[in-house]
Amino acid sequence: MSFLRPFSFADVLPPLKGNGIELRAPEMRDYEAWAALRGQSREFLTPWEPVWPVNDLTRPAFRARMRRYAMDARADATYPVFVFRQSDGALLGGLTLGQVRRGVAQTASLGYWMGAPFAGQGYMTEAVRTVLPFAFETLHLRRVEAACRPAKTASSRLLERVGFTREGYARGYLCIAGQWRDHLLYAILASDPVR
């Protein structure tokens, strides 16, 4: 009676190993490391993210996040992962394949964040390289899109380094730090080489 078995991310998202990193679905046991890293990185992250709810770093909010992640993964809508360093298991950041669109699109949007102590060390570049085969070979997506603010040159360089192509400029694309912001639009196709 497998329908009575509790949902496990491992059913749809096994751990993914890259060069020096591991990607795996978030779990409740990650709360303390997540809250500590997000808390110490708040000033670094908030200019590039939607406004954080007041209770964002609390255990109940994290538990609600885990329920939402499970529901979205079951619905084939979003696949979140945390990025860990293999050498010591340290949580480095997170990455999401979200807004999965099936049918004629077979597309998802990529989003990511890196804790301030680990930024600029190549971890997120390797995480993106590691998740793309999962997106194309396991999820059978044809296209992965990403957007970044023009001022975030590190993100543009990361995407281009991995093999994304800049496709356009979207005015007022996302509400970031409480304001509608313009974004550069990038994409990579399953047929493109991942570098």
- How confident is the model at residue 1, as a pLDDT? 34
- How confident is the model at residue 8, as a pLDDT? 54
Dist CA 84 CA 178 (whole Å): 29
Superfamily of domain 2-140: Gcn5-related N-acetyltransferase (GNAT) (3.40.630.30)
Judged by DSSP in three states, 137 sits in helix
Dist CA 175 CA 52 (whole Å): 12
Tens digit of each residue's pLDDT (9 = 90 or more) over 133-177: 999 999 999 999 999 999 889 999 999 999 999 999 999 999 999
Element (H, E) at 149: none
Tens digit of each residue's pLDDT (9 = 90 or more) over 3-59: 444 445 556 678 999 999 999 999 999 999 999 999 999 999 999 999 999 999 999
**Residue 64 — very low, low, confident or very high, per pLDDT cuts 50/70/90?**
very high
Dist CA 164 CA 124 (whole Å): 14
Dist CA 164 CA 32 (whole Å): 33
- How confident is the model at residue 13, as a pLDDT? 75
Dist CA 135 CA 142 (whole Å): 8
- How confident is the model at residue 2, as a pLDDT? 39
- How confident is the model at residue 152, as a pLDDT? 82
Backbone phi, then psi, for 133, in 5-degree steps?
-60, -35
Judged by DSSP in three states, 26 sits in coil
The pTM of the full predicted model, rounded to 2 decimals, is: 0.91
- How confident is the model at residue 12, as a pLDDT? 64
- SS3 of the chain: helix, strand, coil, percent, to 5: 35, 30, 30
- Helix residue ranges per DSSP H, 41-190: 42-45, 59-74, 123-133, 153-162
Residue 193, classified by CB atoms within 10 Å of its CB into exposed (0-12), middle (13-18) or buried (19+), is exposed
Dist CA 124 CA 110 (whole Å): 12
Tens digit of each residue's pLDDT (9 = 90 or more) over 68-126: 999 999 999 999 999 999 999 999 999 999 999 999 999 999 999 999 999 999 999 99
Provide the mean pLDDT of the chain: 92
